[in-house]
A and B are shown apart, each in its own frame.
Chain A
């Protein structure tokens, strides 16, 4: 396993991300430890690692962050994913299910996520936009279900613009941050899109 270090302390955006990306792309598998000294760089390096399907561990000391990124060889999980998921994308644009009663909407969303976890074939991707991003953040009532689905190979993607708008970026607790281009790409390439 290769192990590389990127010292991006003192570097302005976007250099910490670009330097980390180059090192990550150059290795087949292994770990890259990036040191940064500001929060924006830390957030962006984490987002990069997530977008490349890598594991991330962050340690914070004073003004400095040590971000350990683990890259696994490609296709390691592909077999599992294709066995357990089908090419369906679920598009969730609210933290509640349906209109009428907010309280009932919360209950229905919990029930929906529980049903997804229990179902034999999970979707390939779940997209969260607008108020839906509350579901992927800390204190979400369905966080355990989403973590469970992620462990089964389901891709959990939250809209970055939406997380920014609700000031939730720091609180994202499951899955990765995405952009509108990827959201459209996922919907376009899916065999079936279920919109809630």
Chain B
């Protein structure tokens, strides 16, 4: 389970599959979240990049669910 107080590094280190989710956001927001906010919490990252916290959390946790189902 990914929560808003985890840092981006904690998330991608523990769940490498989420890198794709961040990279998808990079394309739509023309930034590199992992480059600029790796040591920030998800909550801070969202405010820095003007993202939707609920949607991002949902996208990340859906990725985890998919992995669990496939396993």
User: Chain A residues in contact with chain B, CB under 8 A?
Assistant: 13-14, 17-18, 21, 40-41, 44, 47-48, 51, 160-161, 164, 177-181
Contacts and interface: CB of A to CB of B under 8 A. Distances in A.
Q: Which 4 A-B pairs have the closest CB atoms?
A: A40-B35, A13-B34, A14-B34, A13-B35
Contacts of B8: 14
30 contacts: A13-B34, A13-B35, A14-B12, A14-B13, A14-B34, A14-B35, A17-B9, A17-B38, A18-B12, A21-B9, A21-B13, A40-B32, A40-B36, A44-B38, A44-B39, A47-B38, A47-B39, A48-B39, A160-B39, A161-B40, A161-B44, A164-B36, A164-B48, A177-B39, A179-B39, A179-B40, A179-B44, A180-B41, A180-B44, A181-B5
Taking chain B's interface residues, is the majority helix, strand, or loop, or is none over half, making it mixed? helix
A179 B41 contact: yes
A28 B27 CA distance: 39
A181 B40 CA distance: 8
Given A51-B39, A179-B39, 12 more contacts: A13-B34, A13-B35, A14-B8, A14-B12, A21-B9, A44-B39, A47-B38, A48-B39, A164-B36, A177-B39, A179-B40, A181-B7
B12 A160 contact: no
Contacts of A44: 35, 38-39
Contacts of A18: 9, 12-13, 16
Interface of B: 5, 7-9, 12-13, 16, 19, 32, 34-36, 38-41, 43-44, 48
Nearest to A25: B13
A13 B39 contact: no
Contacts of B19: 14
Given A18-B12, A18-B13, A13 B41 contact: no
Q: Which of A14, A41, A160, A161 has the most CB of B within 10 A?
A: A14
Q: Which of B5, B16, B36, B43 has the most CB of A within 10 A?
A: B36
B36 A179 contact: no
B38 A14 contact: yes
Contacts of A177: 39
A177 B13 CA distance: 19
B10 to A, nearest CB: 10
Q: Which of B35, B41, B43, B44 has the most CB of A within 10 A?
A: B35
